[in-house]
């Protein structure tokens, strides 16, 4: 693991550069600074030509790769579901996952809550991009575009949901999701932490999560209705 990381760090600092695409496109971020952020990832993940499975899957060639597709790695059920739904790691989905892992994969085994600093995420993405097999084919974002990535405002996250209203809205959810919390091929949403529920629903609404039925369902809901459902399912007795 240390050898793979050392190789990655040498490449990033010595020759990989600033995450520029061929043809002079704008950079995602600074790959050299991203190598410093990578140190915190390297305890679980390897990157580089000799990267192997560790606590987490190797991240070489992560751009354009379908979620849960590294052969031999024991992914969580939630990550496997997202892979089957069609989640692909792109600039937008990686940025969202690194910021709030539970926004894309509700019961992810990632061991940190997320990286809120947008510049640090951009730098880390530039570092990861330098280890893609075809970096010139990865779409870049001009400096102003990062602000357009799907975000949730503090006001949205601060909405206090009404559990009674959530119960009124919940019948459509419970045609598929089991109230008793059992998992019968469809993940349980009973007793989800409210923030995770809100993040997941907005990820469907903003088409970061790829499931078409959930995208349709979430698109019908207001921010207040999502908060109400989160409040109801977060306190629902199994």
DSSP string, 50-93: T---SSS---TT-TTPBTT-STT----HHHHHHHHHT-B--HHH
Closest CA to 60 of 47, 70, 42, 50: 47
Examine domains 2-135+142-148 and 154-235 and report if their fold is the same: yes
Residues with Cβ < 8 Å from 3, sequence gap 6 or more?
A: 50
The answer to whether the beta carbons of residues 123 and 192 sit under 8 Å apart is no
User: Angle 21-24-25 (CA atoms, 0-180°, nearest 5)?
Assistant: 60
Task: Write down the CATH superfamily of domain 154-235.
Answer: Cytochrome c-like domain (1.10.760.10)
The total number of residues shown for the chain amounts to: 238
What are the residue boundaries of the structural domains of the chain, listed by start?
Answer: 2-135+142-148, 154-235
**Cα 180 from Cα 191, distance rounded (Å):** 10
CATH architecture designation of domain 2-135+142-148:
Orthogonal Bundle (1.10)
Which two tokens mark 173?
Answer: 């959810």
The answer to whether the beta carbons of residues 131 and 8 sit under 8 Å apart is yes
| Tens digit of pLDDT at every position of the chain (238 positions) | 434 433 443 333 333 444 433 333 445 789 899 999 999 999 999 999 999 999 999 999 999 899 999 999 999 999 999 999 999 998 889 999 999 898 889 888 887 889 999 999 999 999 998 898 666 556 554 433 333 345 678 888 899 999 999 999 999 898 888 777 677 677 888 888 898 899 889 989 988 899 989 999 999 999 999 999 999 999 876 5
């Amino acid at each position: 693991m240390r050898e793979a990381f050392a190789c990655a760090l040498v490449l990033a600092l010595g020759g990989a550069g600033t995450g520029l695409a061929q043809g002079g496109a704008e950079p995602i971020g600074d790959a050299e600074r991203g190598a410093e952020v990578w140190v915190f990832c390297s305890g679980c993940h390897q990157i580089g030509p000799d990267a192997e499975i560790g606590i987490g899957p190797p991240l070489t060639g992560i751009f354009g790769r379908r979620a849960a597709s590294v052969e031999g790695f024991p992914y969580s059920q939630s990550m496997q579901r997202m892979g089957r739904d069609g989640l692909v790691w792109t600039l937008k989905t990686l940025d969202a996952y690194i910021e709030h892992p539970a926004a894309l994969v509700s019961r992810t085994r990632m061991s940190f809550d997320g990286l809120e600093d947008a510049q640090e995420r951009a730098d880390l993405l530039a570092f990861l991009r330098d280890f893609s097999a075809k970096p010139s084919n990865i779409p870049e974002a001009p400096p102003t575009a990062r602000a357009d990535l799907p975000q949730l405002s503090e006001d949205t996250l601060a909405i206090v949901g009404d559990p009674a209203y959530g119960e009124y809205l919940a019948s459509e959810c419970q045609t598929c999701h089991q109230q008793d919390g059992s998992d019968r091929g469809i993940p349980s949403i009973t007793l989800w932490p409210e923030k995770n529920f809100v993040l997941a629903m907005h990820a469907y609404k903003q088409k970061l999560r790829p499931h078409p039925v959930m995208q349709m369902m979430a698109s019908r809901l207001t921010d207040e209705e999502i908060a109400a459902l989160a409040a109801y399912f977060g306190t629902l007795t199994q």
